[in-house]
Amino acid sequence: MADDPGKLSKSAILGMVAMAFAVFVIANDFTALSVAIPAIEKDFGTTVNTTQWVINGYAMVFGVLIVTGGRLADMFGRRRAFFIGSAIFATFSVLGGLAPNVWVLLACRFVMGVGGALMWPAVLGMTFGLLPRNKAGLAGGLVMGSAGFGNAFGPLLGGALTDTVGWRWVFFLNLPIAVAGVLITYLVVAPDGDRDKREKIDYRGMVVLTVAVFSLLLGLDLGTRIGWDTPWSYGLFSMSAAAFLMFFFVERRARNDALVPDDVIRNAGFAAACLTVLAMSAIFFAALLYLPQYMSHELKFSAIECGAGLLPMMGTFAVTSFISGRLYERLGPKVSVVGGAIFLAAGMFLLSRVHTGTTYVDLIFGMFVLGIGVGLFYSSITTAGITCLDPARASLAGAIVYMFQIAGGSIGLGANTAIVLSNSNFADGISIAFLVDAIIAVCGAVVALLFVGGTLDREKLMTAWRHKHRAHA
């Protein structure tokens, strides 16, 4: 990481632009295709049970391989990993857009997940490496802000392309954005240094962790679809538990060459960040699923209207993420993370008041508050998690945090679905689920208060308040 705490160089600014392009294309890809699914079903004459894997398959491969991608980026160079990941992602985006049938499309999506798993941790590592240590908050804000904008505008962009030129252009659009990011990175980001040849690839750890995470995510996905009390669910969860236990012993034997080194595992601040992300992601993903569901079922919104209906939350998420970088630098990780968790809890509590007669206008303020919480929390916790470890672990740290985000989201969807389906009234089920989520958010805030790095420094808070007061004056 750069040592100069002063003004950012031109190359650093251009490098941040390249990283923003990369983050945007990855985040946009997650949501843009959601509104294109009906058109894909119609084109290929298939059902949602098959086409859902256009999204789920990509997300699952991404989540399964991201820790491996982070470790490889730290070992062999983040720039190299980014170039390779971008090439895979862009190539199979084009091939996916040209797919003659749904099975070729699914295969392309799975391989795109491999590219994304290499790109994301490399981008995190390079972003934090472009900026001085004292501007780590700005790096976290840039990453999560770009992700927020990608997620927010994905449904609108995907819907517009699908309605005008066809769903295949949702895939083709990835190519110019990825190429722009690669070109700028090649020109302004310094080449990777020489690899420490003493480090070896932990192949056993990679394989065992892949099996563990894949079994867990697939089990959670199938549990919400076919039920938890099935041989498939029991088998997958048992396999996941056994693989995680095996991973523990494999990693102990690998020592310094472990996929997740000992200094990462034993860092209490990093562990707290991961657990807090797990809890908060369960909440955020539940809102992402059930707010559009409510709009569709109760308010009779179309798919594109549901996507647009989330803008108060997703737009606020994006804007707050950028602002949160400055707040993080002024107030520190504890205040920023706890504050984000409190806003998350407040937003879910407001949204838990939903009932059959609730209008869209009634939802806006709750979504706005939730968006502030999500933007403040995710950028701050990502920065806190990465910066509490050695800078050489930045890509791996970011990858692990993101893996917990995906796992938390899957667990949250399963738990919230169980609550919603246990209630005969759809709106009442959402209300109870969101109230439980609000309570979980409060618990997450307590964990962050106790274990996330930094202190609640009264003088620091007062200094920030006085600065704001002078600015207004």
- The 10s digit of each residue's pLDDT in 7-37 is 666 777 777 788 888 888 888 877 777 778 7
pLDDT value of residue 470: 53
User: Average of pLDDT values for 148-157?
Assistant: 78
Geometric angle at alpha carbon 279, from 116 and 202, rounded to 5°: 45
Report the share of the chain in percent with pLDDT over 70.
Answer: 90
Kindly report, residue by residue over 253-295, the tens digit of the pLDDT. Answer: 876 677 777 778 788 888 888 888 888 888 888 887 788 878 8
Report the share of the chain in percent with pLDDT over 90.
Answer: 16
pLDDT value of residue 462: 47
pLDDT value of residue 3: 45
pLDDT value of residue 457: 45
Of 392 and 91, more confident: 91
Per-residue confidence band for 468, with pLDDT thresholds at 50, 70 and 90: very low
Kindly report, residue by residue over 285-340, the tens digit of the pLDDT. Answer: 888 778 887 887 888 887 677 777 888 988 898 888 878 877 887 878 888 889 99
Distance CA(143)–CA(422), nearest Å, equals 38
Kindly report, residue by residue over 40-76, the tens digit of the pLDDT. Answer: 888 888 876 677 778 777 878 887 888 888 888 888 8
Least-confidence region, from 114-128, 177-191, 213-227, 394-408: 213-227
* 39, two tokens: 């058109």
pTM, to two decimals: 0.76
Q: For the stretch 189-223, what's the b/e string if a residue is b when 16 or more beta carbons lie within 10 angstroms of its beta carbon? A: beeeeeeeeeeeebebbbbbbbbbbbbbbbbbbbb
Using the predicted structure, report yes or no on whether residue 250 has a pLDDT greater than 50. Answer: yes
Burial class of 290 by CB neighbour count within 10 A (0 to 12, 13 to 18, 19+): buried
Would you mind telling me the total number of residues written for the chain in this entry? 473
Other beta carbons within 10 angstroms of residue 45's beta carbon come to 8
Averaged pLDDT score across all residues of the chain = 81
User: Average of pLDDT values for 377-383?
Assistant: 85
pLDDT value of residue 89: 93
Q: Which domains does the chain have, with CATH numbers?
A: 1-202 (1.20.1250.20), 263-468 (1.20.1250.20)
